[in-house]
Amino acid sequence: MKAVILAGGFGKRLRPLTDQIPKPMIEVRDLPIIEWQVKWLSSFGIKEFIICVGYLKEHIINHIGSGSRLGVKVGYAVEEEPLGTGGALKNAEGLLSGQKEFFMVNGDILTNLDPGMLRDGGNAHALALVPLRSPFGVVEVKGSQVLGFVEKPRITDKWINAGVYHFTSDVFSYLPENGNIEVTALPALAKEGRLNAAKYDSVFWRSIDSHKDIEEAAKEMQAAGLS
């Protein structure tokens, strides 16, 4: 089975780093995010990849190449103009010909979750969920007495989209030529009752959205023993 990595965005919030390299090439613990992703998915038996590239695409293509260095096969779907997450996947349709199912991953996340939990026999559209992480430290109180402090806790009764998906081939009929999957295909599938979710409540997961995230992710990955 193949995995698609969406790696064509501008990464504006990470400037000036992304003035010179695309966001998936930002290094965390001395490896680009996209290389971490290939290694993670490969560890779960996924050996064929399609990388959707656009902005500063040559950096990704030159680094990953055919994938042989990492023991995988890699093809590229090139965006000549920004297409959004839904349009980028639609643009890769030809490279997924004959695939009844596949995974898709946003190119700015780091995780060790098992994507196989999304398959449900291979016939489901599904997305991974992780607990919402508070952007702030939380103060624990009883009445007017402060009991303690918890730094950016996970809010375990609220879930967010982890940016990891399993789709079947009919997802392409829901995709726009240009637009984001989060506001097109996913709501349409959910409305029809065709979108499942898998909750991952005890995995490492981190989205790289700011300069601070890079440093914090590196520390958390080391603590989690990810190498």
DSSP 3-state assignment of 29? Answer: coil
| Distance of alpha carbon 96 from the chain centroid | 18
Q: Is 100 a catalytic residue?
A: no
For 187, the token pair is 């709501």
The CA distance from 95 to 127, in Å, is 22
The catalytic residue among 39, 90, 100, 152 is 152
Nearest to 198 by CA among 170, 149, 164: 164
DSSP class of residue 56 equals T
The CA distance from 25 to 16, in Å, is 13
> Would you say 28 and 111 are in contact if contact means Cβ atoms under 8 Å apart?
no
Residue 195: beta bridge partners? 125
Residue 149: beta bridge partners? 139
The CA distance from 51 to 60, in Å, is 9
> Would you say 7 and 107 are in contact if contact means Cβ atoms under 8 Å apart?
yes
Report CA-CA distances (Å) from 45 to 107, 169, 207. Answer: 19, 20, 23
Enumerate the active-site residues: 152
